[in-house]
Every structure is written in C-alpha cells, then in structure tokens.
C-alpha cells in the first residue's frame, strides 16, 4: 500500500506530493502548521489544534478560510487511506506560490498540505535525558510558524549529546520550553509548574489538556517561569506535546532528577491523557 498525502485539493502518492520551488513556505518560511495526535483512529484535542491554527493564520495575516468540517474530512480520509490507528497528522498552510519578494503577494493563493503517518504507542514509558541550551528564537513564539531553524539547531544539539529534547533557556536564566514541547516540573510541594502562556512560548494544546486533567486530580497547577536550577531540584520533570504526549525527563544535562526514575505524577498524567482515546 502506498502512502497518500494531501496537496491543495488532491490526494496523491506521498512520493509525488510536491509544491512549487517558489512557494513562500520554501522561500521564506512564510506559513504555519499543526501536528495532531491520532489514537484509535480518533483525533485528539482537535478543536484546540484547529483554534490555534486559525489564530496563527490571523497573527501572520494569512487570509485563508476553511471550515473545521472540511479539515476534519481531509484528515479522516488520510487516516482511512493510510490505514492509521495510532499516528500523527501534519498540517501546513503557507502563503502560496509567488515570485520571490519579501512583502506579501497580492495574488497568491495559500498552499495546504496534510500528511499522516503511523506511530506506535508503547505501554511502558522510559525516562529520557534532556539538555539545556540558549533560546535563540524571535519574540512571537506563540505563533506556530514553520520557521523552526533555532528549534532544529537546539534539537540537533540534543541528539549530539544523546538526549531526547533540548530545553531552551532565556538570558535571565528561566526556561521557556523544549525545542518541540512544553516543560513541566513537580516541585517539593507537589505543585505542577509550567510556564504561563504568552508570546514567550508556544501554548501547547497538550499542555492545556494536561492542566485540566491535573486539576480534576486536585493537583495544583501554577503557571509561572522557573529556572534551570529549580528544574534540577524538582521531584519530577516531564515534557508534553502531540508527539511526546507526556514524556518524563529523568536527566537534565548531567544531573539526575530526584532518584532518576520515572515519577508517579508523570505516569498518572500520561495514562489519563491516553484514556482520552477510549
């Protein structure tokens, strides 16, 4: 069976799914994206992803109108065509094809690309290593733009240091988030700390749901900045994203978090999140 992807109204074999070399996504990184988790053929937190996509488009003045029903229909077809049970949907909208000039073109129409790929969800989750690195991004990290070079550089640094994620740190010593995830810590008071949504971070859709789940479990969630030193002294650290779901971080740089084992809060939140698919 060949993999099928969606490009501007057409379902094509993945290998033949292409956009023009003068697409502004390719030339300028002029576009936005979403990644949506699929569990048991069910889209997880889709309303949140759709709302954030619309907001990202508005924030970069990309005039592209489509209904939630249409996007859902495209995604559900890709899930069927690609026989996906658990997987990831990647959806990207760019400002379209135009002769290269920095200002927005008058006459380009947006490019919509959607892909789907299967993933396996392991019932057992291992703790991962993360490294800290400088956050080199711009001031509008709340927009889910496809311009990800600083994130790619940070992730590459993680890989070269045998780590799963790079935790990005601002000049004032506070953590923003992971290269492709949000970071959380459980402190000595068993409070759950994560950075408050602002232009400083991407407000993860998984993060919002995890905060809601935590509150149903009477775990206090505090949204504030925290430093690398605080993170190293935490009882538990974990990251959240559509791809990582809830992934425990048991080592930060050369420092073990608590006793180096996966903690009960991370594990419980992960399991409760996975239950959303049932």
Q: Note the residues at the interface with ligand PDD (CB under 6 A).
A: 35, 151, 177, 180-182, 202, 204-207, 240-243
From the CB of residue 6, how many other CB atoms can be counted at a distance below 10 Å?
20
Supply the minimum distance, in Å, between the C-beta of residue 196 and ligand PDD.
Answer: 14
From the CB of residue 121, how many other CB atoms can be counted at a distance below 10 Å?
14
Instruction: Pick between residue 94 and residue 151 the one whose CB is nearest to ligand PDD.
Output: 151
Supply the minimum distance, in Å, between the C-beta of residue 267 and ligand PDD.
Answer: 18
Q: Strands, E, within the chain: which ranges?
A: 4-7, 10-13, 31-39, 42-43, 87-94, 111-118, 128-134, 165-169, 175-178, 182-186, 192-194, 221-223, 236-241, 245-252, 255-256
CA distance 83 to 1: 9
Decide: helix, strand or coil at residue 205.
helix
Q: Which position's Cβ is nearest ligand PDD?
A: 204
Instruction: Pick between residue 115 and residue 180 the one whose CB is nearest to ligand PDD.
Output: 180
Instruction: Pick between residue 105 and residue 157 the one whose CB is nearest to ligand PDD.
Output: 157
β-pairing, 192-194 with 221-223?
A: parallel
Supply the minimum distance, in Å, between the C-beta of residue 204 and ligand PDD.
Answer: 3
User: Among this protein's residues, is 144 annotated catalytic?
Assistant: yes
Instruction: Pick between residue 108 and residue 246 the one whose CB is nearest to ligand PDD.
Output: 246
Instruction: Pick between residue 82 and residue 182 the one whose CB is nearest to ligand PDD.
Output: 182
DSSP code for 181: B
Short-list 201, 206, 204, CA closest to 151: 201
Supply the minimum distance, in Å, between the C-beta of residue 152 and ligand PDD.
Answer: 10
DSSP code for 277: G
Identify the active-site residue in 128, 129, 144, 207. 144
From the CB of residue 81, how many other CB atoms can be counted at a distance below 10 Å?
16
Task: Point out the residues that are catalytic.
Answer: 144
């Amino acid at each position: 069976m060949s993999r099928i992807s969606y490009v501007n109204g057409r379902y094509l074999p993945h290998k033949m799914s292409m956009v023009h070399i003068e697409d502004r996504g390719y030339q300028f990184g002029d576009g936005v994206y979403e990644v949506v988790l699929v569990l048991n053929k069910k889209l997880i937190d889709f309303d949140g992803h759709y709302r954030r996509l619309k907001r990202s488009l508005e924030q970069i003045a990309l005039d592209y109108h489509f209904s939630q029903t249409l996007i859902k229909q495209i995604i559900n077809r890709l899930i069927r065509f690609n026989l996906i049970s658990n997987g990831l949907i990647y959806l990207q909208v760019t400002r379209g094809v135009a002769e290269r000039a920095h200002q927005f073109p008058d006459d380009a129409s947006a490019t919509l690309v959607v892909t789907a790929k299967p993933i396996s969800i392991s019932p057992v989750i291992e703790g991962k290593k993360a490294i800290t690195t400088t956050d080199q991004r711009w001031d509008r990290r709340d927009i889910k733009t496809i311009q990800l070079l600083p994130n790619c550089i940070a992730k590459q640094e993680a890989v070269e240091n045998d780590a799963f994620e790079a935790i990005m740190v601002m000049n004032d010593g506070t953590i923003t988030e992971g290269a492709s995830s949000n970071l959380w810590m459980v402190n000595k008071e068993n409070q759950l700390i994560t950075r408050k949504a602002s232009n400083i971070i991407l407000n993860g859709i998984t993060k919002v749901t995890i905060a809601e789940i935590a509150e149903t479990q009477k775990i206090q969630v505090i949204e504030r900045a925290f430093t690398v030193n605080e993170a190293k002294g935490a009882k538990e650290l974990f990251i959240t994203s559509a791809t990582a779901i809830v992934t425990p971080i048991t080592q930060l740089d050369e420092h073990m978090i608590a006793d180096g084992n996966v903690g009960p809060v991370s594990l419980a939140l992960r399991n409760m999140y996975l239950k959303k698919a049932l």
